[in-house]
Structure 1
Amino acid sequence: MLKGVKLDEKFGESFSGSKYFGIIDNIKQVNTFVGVNNSGKSRFLRTIFSETINVKFIFDLDENTRNTLMTSLRQIFGQIDSVKRYGAIYNYRTTLSTYAENIYEDKDNALESILSLYMFLDTLKVHEFTLTNDSMTYRVSNMIAQVQTLTKSFGTIVERLGIENGKVDKIYIPILRGLRPIAQESENFLNTDIYLSRTKHDYFEDDIKKGLIFTGLSIYEWIKKLLLGDESERNEIKQFETFLEENVFKKKINLIPKYDDDVLHIKIGDDLQFPIYKLGDGLQTLIVILFPIFVNREKPHLVFIEEPETHLHPKWQRLLYRSLCLFQKHNFFLSTHSSVFINSPKNSIFIISKKKGKTHILHSDIKTEKVSILKELGYKPNDLFQTNYLLWVEGQSDKIYLNYLIKAIDDSLVEGEDYSIMFYGGSSYRHFLMNKGDLNLEFIKSLNQNYALIMDSDRTKSGQRYNLKKKEIVTLFRRNKAFCWLTKLREIENYIPFNNFENAVKTVHKVKNIEIEVGDFGDRCKYVDLNARPTYKPSIKLSNDLFSRIQKNKDGSLKGIKAKELRQEIELSLEKTKKNFNQIDKIKVAERIVQNGFVIQNDELQKAILTIVKDIKKANE
């Protein structure tokens, strides 16, 4: 099976994204390329299909190549281990051994392990060693110089990996496809494949000897030729009919190139045969895509399909996906906007985007534990990959407010098309921003290259220090030239005009006389129903002043505190307990507020939303 695609240096003029040697790894049986329109998905597929471009395809490594790589690695590891006698230990030595073992023991990920090894060796630094004696630093530096020379030799071996494009069998199924002849002469339609002529004219002017471009218009002549051939050729059509019976139609079918007609005919079950164009477009699409794949099933092919979901109901998209997976000798490359192909856990997903005029290719490496968190939050991969801009907020109510505020600045922007908002659930941001205890944006970037984050400060008073971890996150985003807004006020709700907020709470909770904490740092998540019957609670809280005086006694006694003073303290504390606090329904209140509408009055809020809108527009250019 295919493990990687190696792009020539010339690709750097139009494409970016490969880490080392122009190699795109993480290739699986089905590889899905997703991104917004005009990002370059189909162009990338056509480029690696074309034999005029210098592309190599890397398949399973043979024994000789593995042995050569391991011999080179043993020399490198020997150098790294040589400084142990000077008290210098490489911190990632176990990691290197694991990757080396994978070259033999994990064939599916052998190429990824090779590239990861090269990354570690190519970036070897003195500070990655633990030294018991700092005076031995020069020995580590000398060793690194020798490792760099050996690493170049290791890289030369990797550079030679792959089979040239022109020696690999390929099938290309363009978006311009169908079963009904289009070319017409007088009153008759001709079985001329004008879709093929158009596709070759636009994209493949040179012949592709090992590449089949199949549009569907040649199926009439192809099936006729097979049916008029020898027994094995006639049997090929029977087997394809059986395949369609079992996996598509669930009924016996026959494909008939009727001699007095210009199109293929089909007979389903006991029905009379009829021209295939009377089938629904969806069934025609399935036949167009599956036929060239099936007749080439015995020999491994790389199959490139532009937007396989065209004309297909989601149920039939799933049917097509399952059918493709049956051809285990083939590798598939799909450009798509379909959630069916994006959400499949067996896919390898590549995000295609425009970056500085180039088509940028990024493999989305969503770890299993992060996928489970996304699912818990109600998200699927297609919700995140098919947008130009991803805005992270703390909760559902924040999402409601942000959509309203973005619209207030520019009502042409549409959520789900121009941008998407994802809520990460308060402190669960750690799941997305932490990796082995360190803050990084690896996961955020794997979802989308254009992103921003909004965090509530949760401060309860002016002058209170910000949470240090949140400040680190702000610094991290700024270092990556991404927008991160850590609110000055307590939370988003504190930026809503107080009257608008109070009225919404009264309406949603059907209360007339309430008390909500005012101010920039008041807790607006709860309210007091002033008309509710007062009830006193048995637990009371002493004031800080009284408690500090008790502490000075060091024995917990009330020595020095008058009985009258203590009585007043208890009565005041009991009075405070009669307030009946209720939690507001944040989502319903937010919905009511945006339904009623409000004006942005806070300069900080205005500036933040303007920045977000500007970034969204830039991402959508």
Structure 2
Amino acid sequence: MVKTFLDGVAIGFYRGIGEVQKIGPFSEVNFFIGPNNAGKSIVLSFIHEHLPSENKSQQGSLPLNSPLSFRGEGEGVFLAGFGIRKFNVLDSLKQKNAATFENPQSSVYQLVHDTVDRLVCDGILWQQFRGNKYVSQVFQPKISEFINISNAHGWNKLNHSFTGRSGEDIRTKALPRILRKINEGVLVGYPPVELVPAKRKLGDKEDEEFKDSSGIGLIPKLASLQDPDWQKEQERYVFDAINTFLQAVTGKPDAEIRVPHERNHLLVRMDGKLLPLDSLGTGIHEVILIAAFCTIRTEQIICIEEPEIHLHPTLQRKLIRYLQENTDNQYFIATHSAAFIDTPGASVFRVWNDGVQSYVEPALLKDDKWQICEDLGYRASDILQANMVIWVEGPSDRIYLNHWIAAVDPDLIEGTHYAIMFYGGGLVSHLSAESEGDPLGELIGLRSLNKNMAIVMDSDRDSAGAVLKSAAQRLIDEVTDERGFVWITKGREIENYVDYDDLQGVLKELHPKVYDGSWDGGEFEHAFYFKRKGKAEPYKDANKIGAARKICEQPANLGVLDLRERVTELVALIHRANGIGDAENEPQILQA
């Protein structure tokens, strides 16, 4: 599984960045997305060149007239800062000062926590290094901001605990010494940093050393993994993992990379044939190269330039999912592909330039991600909020569907993998999924909005033999194919998929003043109706949304009617729309 080694960076007067910018917090996979010349590669270049990692020391300054110096308006001193999350700061201090942290109830213990709270900015402690040694804190508060945290006695105890000194002036000696000790006490150790450049190729020379991620020396390296010495047999798992990825992207369970004796190219054994890797197309060739680089490297920080080159969006997503599930590196990726915006578990940063300098900002909200899409030149009609649209009659249907979908695949996220939209029951007769050649399509051309589409609709049948309404049958004919289907409820309404006794119990709780018992509970009855106190007619206006919310507070029961089959079909369609999993092994879409 991917890991997080670096929590954030602070950059000032470097390439396209002028005044100091704090960039973070980082996660296991981080995307820097923006148009050409926005400055997407700034953070990658900074990390690769200046992070004080195992394979290099951090440079404290840039040479005079360096091409990496800031070239915008104004001038300033190059600043390289690195961030450590608060909980990592405290963990490091505990390792170095075990006695101080023995008693969580002690005043010294609490004072350390309060002091760290003041030192961090946006939850991160920002530091500068020279070589691998701490130099100073970036954004350090003034001494006066710490004075009132504790009295002189508390500071003296902490000073003695950290430095062995006591009786010093708090403002001029003790506090500055304590703050420096806290900063120096953070155990910073970053792994090697590798850069996968935008231009990648397979080196075919036997004597080339595999020392970077440009492709030079990759074939000899793969050969050693294909047939390792008996003492290194454990290395074969790396080769097996790359083959597993090849099988996923080609859809061929027998696909396998082979390195021939001459070691001048790669072969693929597939469908009983042995072919050059190049013959599968540039996209497969490119994605296998990147996957190989990242699988061979372990527990490192890897910066990747434009992985989307020659890759279809589906391959782009498969690559990232493979890296997340099968490697243990941290990734920083510069791209102008919108396909990565909704990657689960990843951090997305918008990179833009105002004509003077570049800015890097986290894209935390949907509006931020829409702004990225606009930066990349997408129009509102080019993209939707999700890769699939599910049309339902109303809000309570949405609540149930989200609950049931989560029961089958809890990793699916509304607004990312699918969107739910309302058509309203009264519009059913006007809906048409064909946007051309049909006058009803002018009202709502569903498939012109998104080809990946499902419609969930009440059957409204009052018996098993009742005829389905003509509008519903027409939608089945127009929509049902490999990218869409219509789900007509097996019972009368979607509420008939809820256990009847559970539903009636919730209705009694919601309407205690009028509820006087259940009505009829058959699958073709109105499940929401109940007996009303003092009335012969059933109560028909129950709180559907409130009931749905209460029902969905409990684990989903998919064993009612055909609910499990239908939800499984719907999840399979969402998977296909998002390129998740092996489509060949997904349940097939059935006719309604």
Q: TM-score range by the shorter chain?
A: 0.3 to 0.5
TM-score by length of 1: 0.41
Which structure would you say has the larger Rg?
A: 1
